[in-house]
Structure 1
Amino acid sequence: MSGTLAQSAARGMFFTLGAQGVKILLQLASVAILSRLLTPDDYGLLAIVLVIVGAGEIFRDFGLTAASIQAPTLSRGQRDNLFWLNAAIGATLCVIVFFVSWPATWITGLPQIQAMVQCLSLLFILNGLATQHRASLLRALRFKAIAVVDIAAAVIGLGIAIPAALGGLGYWALVLQQLIVAAVGMAGAMVLARWWPRLPDRTESIRGFIGFGWNLVATNLLMYAGSQLDTVLVGARFGTAALGLYNRAFQLVMTPLNQVRAPINSVAQPVFARVQGDQPRFERYVVAGQLALGYGIGIALAVLAALSTPVVAVMLGPRWLEAAPILCLFAIAAMLSNISMIGYWVYVSRGLTAQLFRYTMVSLAIKVVCLVTGSFFGVVGVAAGFAIAPALSWPISLWWLSRLTPMPVRELYAGAARILAVCLAAAFAAAAAGVFAAGGLVPVAQLAIGGVAGLLAAAFFLVFPLFRKDAATLVWFARLMLNRKK
């Protein structure tokens, strides 16, 4: 990676990761505070509602964000048409989900669900209006603007949720947080994108965007169904309290992780799309991207898995300790899925959405089998199935993709093996140190000692040339992030 594009991507990564660092701190503060003010049942109710809302969100975007980013050219008229299409889809889904609240209440047997679903149906309008403004910022590589919007939305949302929870509003504090974040995000994206849509232009065709988006919608819908199956299983078989424990463990791992991966994804997709015609350069992006994801995030997840009990004690409080083994398994699952994320970037950046849909059907089948089998062993069994699924599907992912487009398969397998070796050593060291410190130290001290031990174990691998080469690649990439020259 060299030249202006690489530097732009790296600067974008610098801004977005910095913003996500702030958002992660806000999220952790939110978890630590709200988990002590609200109950597992409150979070269980929100988890059920978000299953419904999340499915609608896939149709609301309709894959048009990725389509507009990936397109080699995008006229003003096409952008206007895409805006109105997203807005119309959002308004339609708002109405549909509003009326879905009645059968959802009947199916779940939970009267609280109706009003929650009806209020959160407004998310479709807010997000539909913001979709193309955010896509415009991403396409222009204006990552700093997106970072400002996201931080402001997170701060204001948390600032509303905490006093609402203190005031005894219960799960309504979580509903308000969702709505405020979406409203602030919409307003910020519209202002900073610096364009206002004109009336639709029939002379500007967006048929190609819809075709691209439809395949991506189908893929994302399958992926979403797989991602929510565990929530449905736990809620249906074990109740809202168990679902609340499961959901808090999931959110404690996945929410910060997604806040890191989302901006990386936002940087990677437009950059990969621009260099797809230069195969050697494209492959260097792919290999470097996997190393950045694997080492940069994987080591932290390995340490988190090893120290799940003190993490739960510190972040959620003593009444949530049953969530510790669930959190451990989620951290393992996140580490494995994190390595395989590079394949998704390649599919989207090269327009292979139809092929991605077919592969997703295979990976979803694997996940369904793992989750359903795990559910016979309780909530922890479901979490175990969640962790086993990416371990089985990731090797298939690379093989499948290599049949469709040139890929540095050998380098990716070798890089993943090195990443997993370092993560495993860090986890064992952190776990051993945590057990040693558990004798008479408070959970915060256990976390500190275990975390240091895990990092030292990871650093030990620098004595080997291959790992020093990986470290040099990461240092080189960090320097690019700090390089402000155009």
Structure 2
Amino acid sequence: MSLAPRAARGTSVTVFGQVLKFAIQASSILILARIIPPAEFGVFTMVAAIAALAAVVGDFGLSFAAIQAPIITAKERTNLFWLNLCIGALGSGTMFACAPLIADFYGEPRLTPVAQWMSLSFILLSLAVQHRAQLTREMRFGLLAGAEIAAQAVGLAVAVPIALSGAGVMALVAQQLTAYGVLLVTALLGARWLPGLPSFSTSIRSYVRYGSHTMGGALVNYASTNVDKIAIGASASAADLGIYGRMYQLFSLPLQQLAAPLTRVALPTLSKLLQEPRRYEAFLVRAQLCLAYSFGLGFAFIFGTANELVPLVLGPGWQDGISVLQVLCIGGFFQGIGYVNYWVFLSRGRMDIQLWLGIATRSITVVAVILASTISILWVAGAVAAGLVLNWIVYSTLGMRMVGLRPSVVLRNALWPMIISIPAAILLSWISEYLQISMSAGLPVLVASATLLIYVGVCVVLIPQVRRDARAIVATMTMAVRRTSQ
């Protein structure tokens, strides 16, 4: 099968898998939020913000290095596996030993065993890095999607009875570790590859160089996306952190379901199109159109119906997070459409540019978040959203010029989705609030959904550029469906 059909089929399989994964994750949020109180979620988030380093450190950027390489030998892959494992073991041991210090930092004694258990995530994730990279190189997206679905399902099945027994935060720990374990087992079985002994005569210096830049950018991203939880945990109550953490999870769900998994399809595809600039740009344009309209209208819906959506999904006791979710949605749109910048840096091997630009923009975000945490969680959400907008502007202008790509390639596709989504969010918010006051609960979401569909239909009919964009998106999705059925 040629590259275009494989990419299209990979995209459709990935998106379909993410729909199922989204359903399971949404069920997890809905069920566990009704069993476990906000304060318990806050305690887990304190440790989860630190344990999130496992995905960054354990990978060390070597998965992308292996995926991007034109050719990788068995000995190189073996050496990369052992390097990942050593880094993961070091991270696991460090977090286990520092568990009492983490508890002292937050002033929460219960964190010691939680941190010690969560230290296992470093090992579980690092063991699977090269096996999952191999599956990505082979474009076996169906297996990868199935593994993630199974991980979420088994993790939820394990967490619910533990939560019902009153274990609270430990149910969340069990859910996370179980999901990582399932991902590891499926990767080992799917790749059908067992590493041998390290080959000291085989150099992986080029992979480490590429990976170090990738990891540097990931560490900068980690700092800016987790400093909010750490700062809130240090300056506010566990309940406040629990509310903020749940709102952040709701806000990030669309990003996790679409943009992040599509990276697995985009990176090998773009890497193979480097010598064909026109096809390279055409792929970027189509991908960003899909992202921009999906995230624009998706976040507009979440923003406009948040007053009804939060109690509906999480149940009572979470209303203080409604405004937080709405503010985060603003930044979410720009984070989503900015994924194409990330794909460009990865495919062209210029993660050094992303690293240095990221240090500049995200340092500002970190300072703003720390200052905002002394005021309220709503101010923290505002600082996070502003940082995401700043990051997109810098990457889309200066970053694209530095890699030799015209900024207009990634900027122009964001214009009309933005013009449509902003009034849609305001309109839905007004309708939802009005109906919530005058009618029964639940109806605002239904009416707002219908209003959004009508609004989009009118825009498509009346605005020529939106009609062209809609045709391009439909053509892309149609090709993906046809390739999947073949």
**Normalised TM-score (structure 1):** 0.96
SS of the aligned residue for 2:202 comes to coil
Q: Deviations over 1:305-338 (max 9, x none)?
A: 1111111110111211111001111111111211
Counterpart-to-counterpart distance in 1, 2:415 and 2:52: 34
Deviation of residue 444 (structure 1)?
A: 2.4
Match of 1:464 in 2: 463
Match of 2:478 in 1: 479
SS of the aligned residue for 1:204 comes to coil
SS of the aligned residue for 1:443 comes to coil
Deviation of residue 51 (structure 1)?
A: 1.8
Match of 2:445 in 1: 447
Match of 1:5 in 2: 3
Q: Does 1:166 align with 2:154?
A: no
Counterpart-to-counterpart distance in 1, 2:336 and 2:483: 28
Conservation of the 8 A alpha-carbon contact between 1:425 and 1:458: no
Counterpart-to-counterpart distance in 2, 1:78 and 1:317: 51
* Aligned counterpart for 1:137 among listed residues 135, 138, 142: 135
Match of 1:282 in 2: 280
Match of 1:98 in 2: 96
Deviation of residue 204 (structure 1)?
A: 2.4
SS of the aligned residue for 2:318 comes to helix
Conservation of the 8 A alpha-carbon contact between 1:101 and 1:117: yes
Deviation of residue 378 (structure 1)?
A: 1.4
- Return the letter of the residue paired with 1:259: Q
Match of 1:215 in 2: 213
Conservation of the 8 A alpha-carbon contact between 2:281 and 2:409: no
Deviation of residue 341 (structure 1)?
A: 1.7
Q: Does 1:323 align with 2:317?
A: no
Change in Cα spacing, 1:376 to 1:49, as seen in structure 2 (3 Å) is: closer
Match of 1:183 in 2: 181
SS of the aligned residue for 1:403 comes to helix
SS of the aligned residue for 2:416 comes to helix
Match of 1:395 in 2: 393
Change in Cα spacing, 1:368 to 1:433, as seen in structure 2 (3 Å) is: same
Conservation of the 8 A alpha-carbon contact between 1:158 and 1:177: yes
Match of 1:356 in 2: 354
- Return the letter of the residue paired with 2:10: G
Conservation of the 8 A alpha-carbon contact between 2:303 and 2:325: yes
- Where does 1:21-420 land on structure 2 (aligned, <5 Å)? 21-420=19-418
- Return the letter of the residue paired with 1:212: Y
Counterpart-to-counterpart distance in 2, 1:92 and 1:377: 37
Conservation of the 8 A alpha-carbon contact between 2:341 and 2:400: no
SS of the aligned residue for 2:194 comes to coil
SS of the aligned residue for 1:216 comes to helix
Conservation of the 8 A alpha-carbon contact between 2:340 and 2:410: no
- Return the letter of the residue paired with 1:480: M
Counterpart-to-counterpart distance in 2, 1:458 and 1:277: 37
Conservation of the 8 A alpha-carbon contact between 2:327 and 2:381: yes
Conservation of the 8 A alpha-carbon contact between 2:309 and 2:445: yes
SS of the aligned residue for 1:294 comes to helix
Deviation of residue 416 (structure 1)?
A: 0.9
Counterpart-to-counterpart distance in 2, 1:281 and 1:40: 49
Counterpart-to-counterpart distance in 2, 1:311 and 1:380: 18
Counterpart-to-counterpart distance in 2, 1:34 and 1:404: 46
Q: Deviations over 1:120-163 (max 9, x none)?
A: 11111111111111000111110001011111111110001111
SS of the aligned residue for 2:439 comes to coil
Counterpart-to-counterpart distance in 1, 2:364 and 2:417: 24
SS of the aligned residue for 2:403 comes to coil
RMSD: 1.6
- Return the letter of the residue paired with 2:444: Q
**Normalised TM-score (structure 2):** 0.96
Conservation of the 8 A alpha-carbon contact between 1:253 and 1:331: yes
| Number of equivalent positions | 484
Change in Cα spacing, 1:466 to 1:290, as seen in structure 2 (3 Å) is: same
In structure 1, runs of 5+ residues without a counterpart are none
- Return the letter of the residue paired with 1:483: R
SS of the aligned residue for 1:319 comes to coil
Counterpart-to-counterpart distance in 1, 2:422 and 2:441: 22
